């Protein structure tokens, strides 16, 4: 069974556990399929509202760096501590985040969802929304080695 190491954070004490890459693929697929079904049941607008509400709550569950200049930078630092390479670029009312994930090359090809998405986008959306509460996720495009995300800020 292919396995990689995933760092789990419990308070300030990190421990390492083995996690199957098949399990990581399953979680990606589960979340992606749930989003598709929500859009089918609730419609695009209501599903997006629920996604944003969830992002607002999720970002509070993940402690970010106290040394960060912004919530987005704090979450980026947390993701870097998990082994991700994160690049944040802001221009005008958009924020582009590219992330390289150590699991992407083996997990992404295993995904069976027709519309696979990176589940970490929800955390990052929550961080962007801490700076601008009406911000929206525009793109969540998986790549061979990670994800490309685009957020739009909409001033209050």
Domain ranges of the chain: 3-152
- Global pTM reads 0.82
- The CATH architecture of the domain made up of 3-152 is 2-Layer Sandwich (3.30)
**For residue 83, which phi and psi values (nearest 5 degrees)?**
100, 5
Query: Could you give the dihedral angle defined by the CA atoms of residues 79, 126, 18 and 108, in that order, rounded to the nearest 10 degrees?
Result: -90
- With 90 as the cut, is the pLDDT of residue 154 above it? no
Report pLDDT digits (tens) over 3-58.
Answer: 433 334 444 566 778 889 999 999 999 999 999 999 999 999 999 999 999 998 88
Of residues 100, 95, 144, the one with CA closest to residue 120: 100
28 burial level (CB within 10 Å; 0-12, 13-18, 19+): buried
Q: What pLDDT does residue 15 have?
A: 76
- The residue count of the chain comes to 156
**For residue 138, which phi and psi values (nearest 5 degrees)?**
-95, -40
Least-confidence region, from 66-75, 83-92, 136-145: 66-75
């Amino acid at each position: 069974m292919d396995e990689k190491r995933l760092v789990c954070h419990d308070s300030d004490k990190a421990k390492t556990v083995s996690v199957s890459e098949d399990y990581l693929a399953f979680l990606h697929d589960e979340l992606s399929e749930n989003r598709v079904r929500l859009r089918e049941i609730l419609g695009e607008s209501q599903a997006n509202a629920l996604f944003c509400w969830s992002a607002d709550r999720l970002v509070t569950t993940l402690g970010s760096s106290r040394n960060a200049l912004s919530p987005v930078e704090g979450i980026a630092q947390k993701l870097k501590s998990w082994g991700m390479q994160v690049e944040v670029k802001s221009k005008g009312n958009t924020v582009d985040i590219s992330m390289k994930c150590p699991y992407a090359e083996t997990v992404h090809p295993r995904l069976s969802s027709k519309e696979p998405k990176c589940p970490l986008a929800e955390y990052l959306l929550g961080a962007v929304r801490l700076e601008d509460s009406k911000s929206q996720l525009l793109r969540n495009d998986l790549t061979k080695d990670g994800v490309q995300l685009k957020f739009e800020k909409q001033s209050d």
